[in-house]
Amino acid sequence: FEKRIILITGAILSLFIFSMLYGRSKYNDLPECLPFDKTYTEAKVTKLDENTYQVFAVAQMWQFQPSQIYIPVGSEVDFFLTSKDVVHGFNIAEKNINMMAVYGNINKQTVKFDKPGVYKITCHEYCGVGHQNMQAEVIVN
Min dist CB 51 to ligand CUA, Å, is 30
- Of 59 and 111, which has the nearer Cβ to ligand CUA? 59
Min dist CB 134 to ligand CUA, Å, is 4
- Of 53 and 90, which has the nearer Cβ to ligand CUA? 90
Min dist CB 131 to ligand CUA, Å, is 4
Nearest to 97 by CA among 85, 86, 81, 84: 81
One-character DSSP codes across 38-67: TT--S-EEEEEETTEEEEEEEEETTEEESS
Which residues of this chain interact with ligand CUA, rule CB under 6 A?
59, 62, 88-89, 123, 125-127, 131, 134
- Of 69 and 140, which has the nearer Cβ to ligand CUA? 69
Contacts of 18 (CB under 8 A, 6+ apart): none
Min dist CB 61 to ligand CUA, Å, is 7
Q: How far is CA 111 from CA 39, 76, 100, 138, in A?
A: 23, 6, 16, 11
